[in-house]
Amino acid sequence: MKNFSIVDAHIHLWDLVQLDYPWLNRFPKINRSFSMTDYDDASAGQPVEKMVFVQAECRPSQFLEEVKWVSAIADKDSRLAGIVPWAPIHKGSAVSEILEVFTRNPKIKGVRQLIQLEEDIKFCLRPDFVEGIRLLGQNNLHFELTIAPKHFPAVLKLVEQCPDTRFILDHVGNPKIAARELQPWKTYLKAFADSGPHYCKFSNLVCNADLDRWQIEDLKPYSEVIIETFGPGRLIWGSDWPHALRASSWSRWFETAVSLTGGLSEQQRNDIFKMNAIHFYNL
């Protein structure tokens, strides 16, 4: 894979001078600004043809400022080919005007609002949230699902109620790798894969493992499930940089992912590390 250009379908950037990120106070290792120059340093030696920026959880009141800031970066660096901002999906029809504005920015491909942090495991089934997700489909935008395994039952009902909206599961549903728990995550993952033509991000396994002592053997049972469940046609690799620095350098996670997909053909790996992202995000 060293000789092939790839697409990194899940990166973050943040500037602590520009915007506020309260959550970073809990993670001193990454509580600083990260720029495109930092990304290039981190990924040095591996050609990255395109990238997708995913919202970095700044204060909700600043989400439009984040879009403006990242769009300006993308205007200067064409490799940043996709943007997935935050939006107040939970406000239902009130989010309609915002989504219409998003559709006028060709770099904006979808929306993410974290479900993982919600204490109410049925949060995503609230009527206004369901309406917001339906509006995404009407505006040709997808939804990025970031959840814990406990949220799958509600998410499966959400997907059923929104047949015209595309979904992609971030971070393979965040299985509890450090605790070596395969179930019920494995069963839920298959149910999600069977629920429609939805995709899955092959990302963030390392941050769900033991942050300081993980080894590739810890990840293999999970990667095997992921590949078997979605197949190489619906998996998309992402670095989750710089969040993943809590557990791994960019290069170590990339090389680990290459190794975990070693049983696939060159074309299948090319799909996971490049072509599937180009297709799903229309890059």
- Read off the CATH number of the domain in which 160 is found: 3.20.20.140
Whole-model pTM: value is: 0.96
Between residues 207 and 2, which one has the greater pLDDT?
Answer: 207
Long-range contacts of 182-186 (CB under 8 A, 24+ apart): 182/221, 182/222, 182/225, 184/149, 184/152, 185/149, 185/152, 186/225, 186/229
Task: Give the DSSP H/E element, type plus range, for residue 235.
Answer: strand 235-237
What is d(CA 162, CA 139) in angstroms, rounded to the nearest whole number? Answer: 13
pLDDT at 2: 62
In a domain, 1, yes or no: no
CB 58 within 8 A of CB 20: yes
The count of domains in the chain is: 1
Confidence of residue 1 (pLDDT cuts 50, 70, 90): low
pLDDT at 45: 86
CB 97 within 8 A of CB 68: no
Phi-psi label, residue 265: left if phi above 0, alpha if psi -120 to 50, beta otherwise: beta
| pLDDT tens per residue across span 60-108 | 999 999 999 999 999 999 999 999 999 999 999 999 999 999 999 999 9
Mean pLDDT on 162-181: 97
In a domain, 14, yes or no: yes
**How many helices (H) and strands (E) are present in the chain, helices listed first?**
10, 8
Which residues span the domain enclosing 217?
6-280
In a domain, 67, yes or no: yes
Determine phi and psi for 270, rounding to 5 degrees.
Answer: -60, -35
What is d(CA 174, CA 114) in angstroms, rounded to the nearest whole number? Answer: 12
